[in-house]
Amino acid sequence: MKHKHNLVMLMISILLLAAPLQALASDLPLNTEVNDEKEKEPERMIVTEDAYGFKISYDKNSMYGTTDAKMRPSRGPYDELGNEYALLTLSISYQLIGADVPTQFKEVESILRQRIKPKVVDAMMKYAKAKTTREQELKDKTFDDGVYQIFVGSQPYGDLSFMICKKTVPTKITKEDVYGFKISYDKSSRYSKNHLTIMKGPFGENSTTNLNNRLFIIGIAYEHYDKNISAQYAETAAILKQRMDANTVNAIIKQAKVVTKNSEEGGATAPKLFKTKYYQIQVANGPAGGVEVTVCKNS
């Protein structure tokens, strides 16, 4: 009887406990809504840019072209890093989700035909379309139309890239007023008579040179060691002395020689900044060798 009594008391306790819980539950709102709203993608911000004569349009948020095909156009650092660097790179993706390879090919071809000779574009596209899967390798091949050199190729599982470079074909040296400095050089190859590389600024917000108000860069033995480097030092000094005092210019040339010596020995040199009343001048290693002298206007 005692066990039966205990069982009855337990059942009563459960009922007494359940009653307020049931009442509480009845007061709670029942949420039957399912939030299946997808995360919103950022709105497209389409910009059109002149990449050294090639008109490219892309979404500034994703850096892909104007369609969903996933082709990526990328303006190169030719203006600041020298003649051996690209004007423009066009990349076709095989591995991205939603990538539309045939449409990407059409977009690339449309850009190439803006300035490259039709026969060369035809040959490039025929070669590039031999890559049909992302696993496939396409060995680098160079195409030349007399003005541009285009390097086409892809690593296994990599993007297919078209890297467009300008041929450094000397034409005619003329004197130009470069922000108050009279400099004689060939605008096509950007070489002076002593093979200095002259890169006229100012450079934009995506500049790789971390200085403001850049006017121009002088590249000394910029792309390869030049036996005529003494003449390059002298020509650099003559350009700078047009608007800078002799002591500052001599110090700049001295530092340039230090950078050159260290480069020949396989070492790097920390950038050094010189200041005059109106200018700041940075002397540093060139991106592929030699020395770059960056002339900026004081803020």
Q: Is the confidence at residue 98, as pLDDT, over 90?
A: no
Strands 173-178, 214-220: pairing is unpaired
Q: Are 77 and 166 in contact (CB under 8 A)?
A: no
Q: Find out whether 89 and 74 touch, Cβ atoms under 8 Å.
A: yes
Phi, psi of 183 (to 5 degrees): -125, 130
Question: What was the pLDDT predicted at 39?
Answer: 55
Query: Percent of the chain at pLDDT above 70?
Result: 80
How confident is the model at residue 278, as a pLDDT?
Answer: 94
Cα 78 versus chain centre, distance: 10
- Closest by CA to 114, choosing from 46, 178, 36, 54, is 54
Most confidently modeled of 7-11, 19-23, 78-82, 103-107?
A: 103-107
Q: Which two tokens stand for residue 112?
A: 């190439």
205 or 24: which leads in pLDDT: 205
For 103, counting Cβ atoms within 10 Å of its Cβ (0-12 exposed, 13-18 middle, 19+ buried), the class is middle
Please write the tens of the pLDDT for every residue from 163-221: 999 887 777 899 999 999 999 999 888 899 998 999 988 665 555 555 668 899 999 98
Q: Is the pLDDT of residue 1 over 80?
A: no
- Reply yes or no on whether the pLDDT at 290 is more than 70: yes
Q: How confident is the prediction for the chain on average, in pLDDT? A: 83
Report which residue type is found at 151.
Answer: F
Question: Residue 91 has what pLDDT?
Answer: 95
From residue 284, give the alpha-carbon distance in Å to each of 38, 160, 198, 256, 270.
50, 34, 15, 8, 7
Q: What is the mean pLDDT of residues 82-103?
A: 88
pLDDT tens sequence across 252-280: 999 999 998 888 888 889 999 999 999 99
Higher pLDDT, 50 or 249: 249
pTM over 0.85: no
